[in-house]
Structure 1
Amino acid sequence: MSILKSIGLSIVLMAGVLSLAGCMDRQTPEEKMFEELEKVVSTEKVFEDQQDPLVELEKQEKEIYEQIISLGMKEYDQIVKLADEALTIADKREEHIEKEKESIKKSEQEFKNVSKIAEEIEDPSLKKQAAELQATMKERYKIHDELYKNYKQGLQYDKELYEMLKDKDLSFEKLEEQINKVNKVYESVLKNNQEFNDRTDRYNKEKMDFYKKAGIEVNTETKK
């Protein structure tokens, strides 16, 4: 039930542009774009911080699930104990995915400022690059919405499964039906996650291409 680890936005450290308070009016639109795009990066720091804990919790939950299905009904008390542990982990996963979603929402809100600045760019080719970059990021946000929705559905199905496993009278048919629901929704999660990572990679590349064409020198440090 584990999903692939998400890829975050590149952390870009400014090398060639100085951000001076009170000098905003003297900045070019390209320099303003740089500052705004790096603010977007900072808003996703909380998103980045959720990735390792989520992957670890998913791993723990998977191990517990495998223990449960290896037990027979003679070990019912142990099954109940493990199912309750899995439910606790699922709750923790939900806390992390909510923090992740909130971080992405703040990023999306911050990114709206980019459109206003992009309108000030005079160079046609740079303006086109800025538009492409914006389109990619909007696709990324849309994909994350779908990823979040499916992940939450998966969590609900997981919890239903663990509750069912505590039922001594659970039929094989009902168990099989629930497992199929879990597997199907996580197939969608994996697909969403890959698409999200692909869009993130594309956005990072387009952003660096924009900086290069705009003559903005940067050092990059990518955190995944």
Structure 2
Amino acid sequence: MRLRLFMVLAAAVFIMTACTGPSAQEEMYNHLEEAVKKEEGFREQQQPLVKLENEEQELYEKIIDLNMDQFDKIQSLSKEATGIVEERQEKLEAEKESIEAAKEEFDKIKPLIDELDEEQAEAKEKAEELVKTMEKRYEAYQKLYNAYNEALKLDKELYEMLQNKELVEEDMQKKIESINNSYNQVIEANEEFNQYTEEYNNQKKELYEALDLNVSYEESEKSEE
């Protein structure tokens, strides 16, 4: 029912520079790698979110195995599941805050692109491509956030419905169908976000090469369920 598989920004380590002061390319490097650090909050939310999703799924399965003679138990488990949905919402907001901070840091490279001279035309082109890809990645994350936020809203509505003893089964099935459709949108948005993240990581490497920056890369990580 749920899937979290997020690619993250690749981190690079600056090995050596021949410049005595911070050049435009070194400042660009600093902002790009600071953006990676500011996405740590995004990375850190992944495993806790997966854990909460699993806990909620277990509660949901317990609920649907019960009958109306056990309504008190259904009500209790539904309230517990609602609490988990609220925790997931908190993690999602922390994740979004981290992405926005990283984007704000990334945007600081834009004025530096104009400082690259004519001999760095290739690097300038690579930097402009990177900016376009980051914009698309950020837009993809906004879609992902909105889709996941909507899914959480529907989850919460379902658990509220389950606390009503007069619940009509047809209404519950419609809500479950809406939830499943919503998570399909999450998966689609997630795939788009990952696509742009991969493009971004590759283009950043190309930019560093064009800037003649001697860097090494850390392995990118994924968070998955």
| Same fold (TM > 0.5) | yes
Cα distance, 1:171 vs. partner?
0.7
Residue 154 of structure 1 is matched in structure 2 by: 151
Q: How does 1:110-129 map to 2 (within 5 A)?
A: 110-122=105-117, 123-129=120-126
Residue 8 of structure 2 is matched in structure 1 by: 8
Provide structure 1 residue ranges, at least 5 long, that are not aligned to the other structure.
none
Provide structure 2 residue ranges, at least 5 long, that are not aligned to the other structure.
none
Residue 62 of structure 1 is matched in structure 2 by: 57
Cα distance, 1:13 vs. partner?
2.1
Q: How does 1:124-139 map to 2 (within 5 A)?
A: 124-139=121-136
Q: 1:166 aligned to 2:163? A: yes
Q: 1:41 aligned to 2:39? A: no
Distance in 1 between the 2:180 and 2:221 partners? 30
TM-score, reference length from structure 1: 0.92
- Counterpart residue type for residue 145 of structure 1: Q
Q: 1:103 to 1:18 in 2, by over 3 A?
A: farther
Count of residue pairs the alignment pairs up: 219
Q: 1:77 aligned to 2:75? A: no
Cα distance, 1:18 vs. partner?
8.4
More deviation, 214-223/151-160: 214-223
Distance in 2 between the 1:56 and 1:5 partners? 13
Residue 87 of structure 2 is matched in structure 1 by: 92
TM-score, reference length from structure 2: 0.92
- Counterpart residue type for residue 98 of structure 1: E
Q: Does the CA-based 8 Å contact 2:122-2:210 persist in structure 1?
A: no
Cα distance, 1:177 vs. partner?
1.2
Distance in 2 between the 1:85 and 1:18 partners? 59
Distance in 2 between the 1:195 and 1:96 partners? 21
Of 203, 215, 221, the match for 1:223: 221
Q: Does the CA-based 8 Å contact 1:5-1:55 persist in structure 2?
A: no
